[in-house]
A = this chain, B = another copy of it.
Amino acid sequence: MNAQDLPASPETRDRILRTAFQLFHEQGFNATGVATIAREAGVNPGSLYHFFDSKDDLLLAVLEFALDLLGPAVMDPVEASADDAVARVFALLQRYRDGMQRVDCRMGCPIGNMALEVSDGNAKARALVHRNFERWADRVDTWLRDDARLPASVDRRRLARFVLTVMEGGLMQARAAGTLAPFDDSVAVLRDYFSRLGAPLRQRRRASGRKKPRKR
């Protein structure tokens, strides 16, 4: 049986979504053809159109898919890797740094790219990009609300959104620079801000691989 003859199963739909998400990230939405998505997902275009009426319909499904993935693929592992809010914030930023390093400072953030590429012409896509950003910031907000070191006067939700601002603005400049320096610089300033808020990042970082702590 040829891969293109696979039945139109939920797994097929999922594979199309994963492939489209990856290709939109690599090449951008406009530059990616439906035929390419179908070919790389190993389905025939008819099967793709069985699930998605149009490329715009697929875009919305990809943004829903990204929204569903944000917790299990990004936020949950970061939350599990550290105990306190500030360590989680910087572990999250480190995660984006690692991803950016793996692809030689290309591609950037898949949702940030969508924010700039599809927001103006597609209200539904814009709303879903916004929901991705909000869910990201909401999760950081839950971490920050629990941190007693931050003064009560600090607006946690606003600070959570600021962390996203720094991540996106830093990644954008790293992409243009072709190096991580602008991202690292931005994160360093954010770290200074947290210090001045009374919540410095503690020096000992728990490695996400859960290595045995070094003796001191």
Contacts and interface: CB of A to CB of B under 8 A. Distances in A.
Q: Is the interface of A mostly helix, strand, loop or mixed?
A: helix
Nearest to A153: B192
Contacts of A199: none
Interface stretch (A38-46, A78-86, A183-191, A207-215): A183-191
Contacts of A106: 119-120
Interface stretch (A9-17, A68-76, A108-116, A139-147): A108-116
A178 to B, nearest CB: 6
Interface string A122-134: 0000100110010
Question: How many copies of this chain does one complex carry?
Answer: 2
Contacts of A169: 164-170, 172
Interface of A: 28, 30-31, 106-108, 112-113, 115-117, 119-120, 126, 129-130, 133, 158-159, 161-162, 164-170, 172-173, 175-178, 182, 185-186, 188-190, 193, 196-197
